Amino acid sequence: MKKPYRSKFLRISNLNNSFLNRYKRRYSIGIFKYTIPNKEKLEFFKQKKEEKKLAKYYEYKSVIDELNKNRKNKNPILTIILLTYNHKTTIEKCIQSLLSQETKYDYIIKICDDASTDGTTKICFEYAKKYPEKIEYILQKKNTNSIHFGYAIRSLNTKYWSYIDGDDWWITNDKIEKAINFLEQNPEYAVYGTNNYFLEKGNKIDYKHTLHKAKNIKNPISIGRFYYLHPSTRIHRHVVDYSKEYKKMLLSDMYLYLTTLDKGYCYFEDKKTSVYNYTHFGVISKYNENQREFWKIKQWYAINSWLDFKYDKEICLFVNKKEVNQYKKIFGTRLGWKLYAQINKLKLIKKDITKLKQDYKYINKRQRTKEEV
């Protein structure tokens, strides 16, 4: 075997950003030439890239820790959890909408950055330095696929809380003032909610919520009379201790909403206070149809179980009522629901395998057609 050499091929491949194409060795055995990845060099540069990311993380973290330690606003009444991952184009608008609130109540914005890679981190870091009394910045070392939200929820220590995604924003300056004023005066209510706009593919959609005819306090929302309100519109009373229930927690908005409604009513004001930016890149919206269907069943089973099946009749309306009732009739409520969820999980796996087989057959068919041509 001849000594490995650098060829024109290698220099051309350096124009490609892919690691596998940038770092290769070429061998010649007589007239035969072989090109293989230089694994040692590849691993070296991967490691260097990871070290660079970690160095940046620790550089940010040292400043963040110092800011959090010296924060003057030690006893806020409200925590706003801002969840972000690669929201570079909207994160500034979101933060500004939260900072622009005109209220006598102290509040803190807890930015939870799930290791963004598009420049979101730098924007959040600058805001945390500029507003240290208002912003607590939590930067993850590695992406957790939204598990960081659970960390934030379990660490809540304020009387009220709310959360918003980094691609949504508030559009009124009195949201906090109105919500907390109402909740302070009406202790039987656990949630204050409003209406919102939709933004899909850049188009702003104005619509009327099904509750637009409600007469506010005379028509309280409970689990028995359930209406969904988007998280960007809601402010919750801290009535559920999620730190004690972390083993049962399912990180879904519906879970947090209904477990709070179990403790009190929700007040609805027919006023648009936020924009919901529907991007199709959310944790659930990016799933295919089969995965979303199973997630729905998994979510309702978890909620039903956490609430000790007190609202089983209402919750059955959100799944295949006939199918789940068959399992409940034979095995009882608890075991019936569990089997219903498990069997639907197996159905999902079967559907995914069938789809993979169909895709494989389609690719093979196209390949054979090309060869014949």
CATH of the domain at 153: 3.90.550.10
Q: What is the per-residue pLDDT for 94? A: 94
Is residue 181 located within the same domain as residue 266? Answer: yes
Per-residue confidence band for 102, with pLDDT thresholds at 50, 70 and 90: very high
Q: Examine the domain organization and report whether 152 and 257 are in the same domain.
A: yes
On whether residue 222 sits in a domain, the answer given is yes
Lowest mean pLDDT, pick from 22-31, 59-68, 117-126, 253-262? 22-31
What mean pLDDT comes out for the span 93-121? Answer: 91
Q: Given this model, what pLDDT does residue 6 score?
A: 44
> Total structural domains in the chain?
3
Q: Is 76 in the same domain as 63? A: no
Q: φ and ψ at 83, to 5 degrees?
A: -95, 125
pLDDT of residue 53: 57
Mean pLDDT of the 125-150 span: 84
Same-domain check for residues 272 and 297 = no
Q: Which of 23-27, 48-52, 132-136 has the highest mean pLDDT?
A: 132-136
**Which of 36, 67, 98 finishes a domain?**
67
Same domain membership, residue 183 and residue 92: yes
Residue 16 confidence (pLDDT): 40
Q: Is residue 237 included in any domain, yes or no?
A: yes
- Please check whether residues 85 and 214 belong to one and the same domain: yes
Among 30, 48, 67, residue at a domain's last position: 67
251 vs 329 pLDDT, higher one = 329
Are 113 and 126 members of one domain? yes
Residue 317 lies in a domain: yes
Contact 128, 111 (CB under 8 A): yes
pLDDT at 45 over 60: no
- The residue among 17, 45, 67 that closes a domain is 67
pLDDT: which is higher, 142 or 365: 142
| Percentage of residues of the chain with pLDDT beyond 90 | 23
Per-residue pLDDT, 193: 92
User: What is the distance between the alpha carbons of residues 232 and 151, in angstroms, rounded to a whole number?
Assistant: 19
Flag whether pLDDT at 213 surpasses 60: yes
50 and 190 together in one domain:
no
- The arithmetic mean of pLDDT across residues 107-132, rounded, is 88
Residues 155, 188 share a domain: yes
What's the confidence (pLDDT) of residue 357?
65
Residue 358 lies in a domain: yes
Q: Are residues 118 and 173 in the same domain?
A: yes
Domain hosting 317: range is 289-372
The per-residue pLDDT for range 279-331, each reduced to its tens digit, is 666 555 566 677 777 778 888 888 888 888 988 888 888 888 888 888 888 88
107 and 15 share a domain? Answer: no
Q: What local confidence, expressed as pLDDT, does residue 11 receive?
A: 37
pLDDT tier at 98, thresholds 50, 70, 90: very high
Q: How far is CA 48 from CA 3, 55, 119, 314, in A?
A: 27, 10, 20, 54
Q: Does position 339 have pLDDT exceeding 70, yes or no?
A: yes
Question: Contact at 8 Å (CB) between 265 and 193?
Answer: no
| Strand pairing category for 235-237 and 107-113 | unpaired
pLDDT score recorded for residue 162: 95
Instruction: For residues 51 and 152, state if they share a domain.
Output: no
Q: Is the pLDDT score of 20 beyond 50?
A: no
Structural domain includes residue 284: no
Residue 179: is its pLDDT beyond 90?
yes
CB 282 within 8 A of CB 343: no
Across the chain, mean pLDDT equals: 78
Give me the pLDDT at residue 178, please. Answer: 94
> Which tokens hold the place of 323?
């199918």
Using one digit for the tens of pLDDT, what is the confidence trace for 181-211? 999 999 999 999 998 988 877 677 777 777 7
pLDDT surpassing 90 at residue 171: yes
Q: Is residue 309 part of a domain?
A: yes
> What pLDDT, on a 0 to 100 scale, did the predictor assign at position 23?
47
Mean pLDDT score, 147-175:
90
Write down the pLDDT at residue 370. 58
Q: How confident is the model at residue 74, as a pLDDT?
A: 66
| Domain presence at residue 265 | yes
| 239, part of any domain | yes
Q: What is the rounded CA–CA span in Å between residue 243 and residue 82?
A: 19
Name which of 144-158, 254-268, 348-362 the model is least confident about: 348-362
